[in-house]
Amino acid sequence: MEIKISDDRKVGDGNPLYIIAEVGINHNGDLDIAKQLIKEAKAAGANAVKFQKRTIDEMYTKDFLDQPYIKEGSFGKTYGEHKKKLEFSDEQFLELKDYARKAGITFLISGFDFTSFDFIEKKLEVPIHKIPSPFVTHFPLLKHVAQFGKPVILSTGMHSFSEVSNAIQFIRQFNDKIILFQATTLYPCPDELVNLNVLKTFKDELKVLVGYSSHDKGVILPVAAVALGACMIEKHFTLDRTMPGPDHAASVEPRGLEIIVKYSRSIEKGLGSYEKNILPGEEAQRIKYGVSIVAGVNIQSGEILTETNLTVKCPGGGISPTVYYALLGKKTKKAFNKDEFIDDGYIE
């Protein structure tokens, strides 16, 4: 299984891992911080950097936006003020897209409503659309995004397997280029609630490519996801985990992202082939470290081979010990000195 995401890039079986540095709203509404995050994501070796876009009044009810939001890390007195402070304008997103292009890293955005997705598709021309976890059951939005015809990443936090399965069946009516992300919507997510084994369930049961959206605090679990079959990993990314804002604590700083990239690439190389064969270079090692049937003592011509006069020692290159028991009871046609390889040409 593989999906083409650009003229020169595919994901899936046999293709390199795709690593997304998830800025999200960790820019705190500051364009300079956003640009620095793009620069650091590129330096760390990520394939793409991803932001989030919301049309606040379209996404939330007025009552919800008007509720007080007095808490540590808040950017406003109401939830609406808080959310609007963390949004960039369309012009700022276009500026960031151009900055990412010049930096040499793919620019992606998660949309949260119809208007945002239309802007992302028509103005930013992203190669992949990411649908966040809250919208697994939002069939009108799933259809809208799927009909763009581009690869779709669907994150799955807060939803059951049956809900995820229904969403996949629905999307496939319009688009079969799906990468399904395991996610747990906790910021940060305790390690014991990450459940990376779900990746195998998704892959086996739903026949989709899979990835991991990491809300845990460390660098190990995103790397482990690669070993479990993830073709994409997404890690929340910040300049400073102590900054105010809801997602910084579940993010890694530039050095953490660099480690994730480095170790993920090592795991990817180490996974290698599904076939077990003798590899180039191992033949010589088989001689050095292997074992052969040899004479355990001096053996006379015409002597019967027994467990008393045969033994197995290194190096390899002689008769394989897999036939050790088949030789017992046979007669020699020549003498063998102790430690000499037994030659089956001289065995009756």
Tens digit of pLDDT for each residue in 120-169?
A: 999 999 999 999 999 999 999 999 999 999 999 999 999 999 999 999 99
Which is it for strands 48-53 and 106-111: parallel, antiparallel or unpaired? parallel
CA distance 257 to 28: 19
Name which of 269, 268, 157 is nearest 223 in CA terms: 268
CB 51 within 8 A of CB 76: no
The whole-model pTM stands at 0.88
Could you tell me the end-to-end alpha-carbon distance of the chain, in angstroms, rounded to an integer? 54
Q: How confident is the model at residue 311 (pLDDT cuts 50, 70, 90)?
A: very high
- Joined tokens for residue 253: 């700083």
Can you give the residue ranges of every domain in the chain? 12-271, 282-346
DSSP state for residue 158 in the 8-state scheme = T
Would you place residue 292 in the very low, low, confident or very high pLDDT band (cuts 50, 70, 90)?
very high
The pLDDT confidence band at residue 272, using thresholds 50, 70 and 90, is confident
> Which amino acid type is present at position 58?
E
pLDDT attached to residue 91: 97
Mean pLDDT score across all residues of the chain: 95
pLDDT at 71: 78
How sure is the predictor about 72, in pLDDT bands with cuts at 50, 70 and 90? confident
CATH fold of 282-346, please?
Type Iii Antifreeze Protein Isoform Hplc 12 (3.90.1210)
CA distances to 67, 244, 249 from 72, rounded to whole Å, are 16, 7, 13
Of 237, 241, 123, 134, the C-alpha closest to 183 is: 134
Q: Which residues partner with 68 through β-bridges?
A: 78
Confidence of residue 336 (pLDDT cuts 50, 70, 90): very high
Check residue 58 and give its pLDDT. Answer: 93
CATH number for the segment(s) 12-271: 3.20.20.70
pLDDT confidence band for 83 (50 / 70 / 90):
confident
Would you tell me how many other CB atoms lie within 10 Å of the CB of residue 261?
A: 24
- Residue 50, pLDDT above cutoff 80: yes
Note the pLDDT of residue 139. Answer: 98
Mean pLDDT of 342-348: 93
Residue 304: name the closest of 274, 261, 324, 333 by CA. 333
Which pLDDT band, with edges at 50, 70 and 90, does 325 fall under? very high
Q: What is the pLDDT of residue 67?
A: 93
Q: Which amino acid is at 179?
A: I
